[in-house]
Amino acid sequence: MPGRDYLLEDTEVRLLLEGVLQWYGFDFRDYAPEILKRRLWERIDAEGLRTISGYQEKLLHDEGCLEHLLLALSGTGTRPCIFHDPGFYQALRTTVVPVLRTYASAQVWLPACSTGEEAYAVAIVFREEGLSQRCRVYATDISEVVLKTAREGLFPLTALQDATANYVKAGGARAFSEYYTVQDDRVVMDAALRESIVFAEHHLATDGSFNEFQVIMCRNAMGLFNEWLQERVHELFLKSLSRFGLLLLGEKENPKLPWNQESYELLEGPHTLYRKMN
């Protein structure tokens, strides 16, 4: 039988998740338990607390505490630099861009976009490939606070060196400095890039389809979910993709599609890329 400490922890986690759902409206009950607990304890340590119950009390009375939790439960849990994983953006240029050129107009969805690093990288690739006028990027996340940072295009100056190096490795065609200005200790992305992205609230765990898309990129979120929620999200993606639309998933997530495998064709390449067939 599980030890009393484990049972107490499990009870505290359930109460915390129920409290967050009832007070703030965010539903994390179907997130993968071990990953969820690890992220919670990271935030508990960061807040200088000792128990999940103590963290719950602060969480329900301090919206700033909630903002940090939402970021922790968004994608990787930390802010990556722009063009993180440059090999992905090389593949984007060689496999996805040629498909998008066949459309007069195309909609691209980046769910769980967090603070927008991937959205801006994709927008830069589309600009350099001449697709800015025909491709609309929708980047969504559960937190309006996180989205506010994304809309403003603000990134820490400390990440600039890595971002520049990754941009070059990703096949960047210009000087990366063309896409931002520096203000004090922050990098501010170009206004035209900011305006080319639609940032909006959307929670994969509870919300439905809101458009038809030719491409969906979800590379960090699926690993946070339990099996039931993964299937729900896959069904949402299937409903949201146009026929022959492309679904890009994270390399490390190894998604299983047993219930709708006949609906997709797995394309060859170093990244997990599916084409919707029917």
Tell me the residue range of the domain where 68 lies. 4-72
Q: Are 6 and 12 in contact (CB under 8 A)?
A: no
Domain count, the chain: 2
Instruction: Name the E strands within the chain.
Output: 106-110, 135-141, 154-156, 180-183, 186-189, 197-201, 213-218, 241-249, 264-266, 272-276
Phi, psi of 268 (to 5 degrees): -75, 150
pLDDT of residue 153: 96
Q: Which amino acid is at 133?
A: Q
Phi, psi of 107 (to 5 degrees): -110, 135
pLDDT of residue 146: 87
pLDDT of residue 251: 67
Same domain? For 266 and 170 the reply is yes
Spell out the per-residue pLDDT of the chain, length 278, in tens: 455 688 899 999 999 999 999 999 999 999 999 999 999 999 999 999 999 999 999 999 998 999 899 888 876 556 778 999 999 999 999 999 999 999 999 999 999 999 999 999 999 999 999 999 999 999 999 988 889 999 999 999 999 999 999 999 999 999 999 999 999 999 999 999 999 999 999 999 999 999 999 999 998 888 889 989 999 999 999 999 999 999 998 865 555 554 566 788 888 766 788 999 87
pLDDT of residue 270: 65
Residue 239 to residue 251: CA distance in whole angstroms: 22
CA-closest candidate to residue 202, choices 211, 214, 215, 189: 211
pLDDT of residue 255: 53
Q: Are 97 and 180 in contact (CB under 8 A)?
A: no
Task: Give the rounded distance of the alpha carbon of 67 from its chain centre.
Answer: 16
Same domain? For 130 and 187 the reply is yes
Inside any domain, residue 227: yes
Inside any domain, residue 44: yes
Residue 205 to residue 218: CA distance in whole angstroms: 14
Inside any domain, residue 81: no
Using DSSP bridges, classify how beta strands 241-249 and 272-276 pair: parallel, antiparallel or unpaired. Answer: antiparallel
Same domain? For 141 and 98 the reply is yes
Same domain? For 131 and 44 the reply is no
Same domain? For 41 and 93 the reply is no
Same domain? For 119 and 257 the reply is yes
Backbone torsion region of residue 269, taken as left when φ is above 0, otherwise alpha when ψ lies between -120 and 50, otherwise beta: left
pTM of the entire predicted model: 0.89
pLDDT of residue 263: 87
Same domain? For 140 and 192 the reply is yes
pLDDT of residue 258: 44
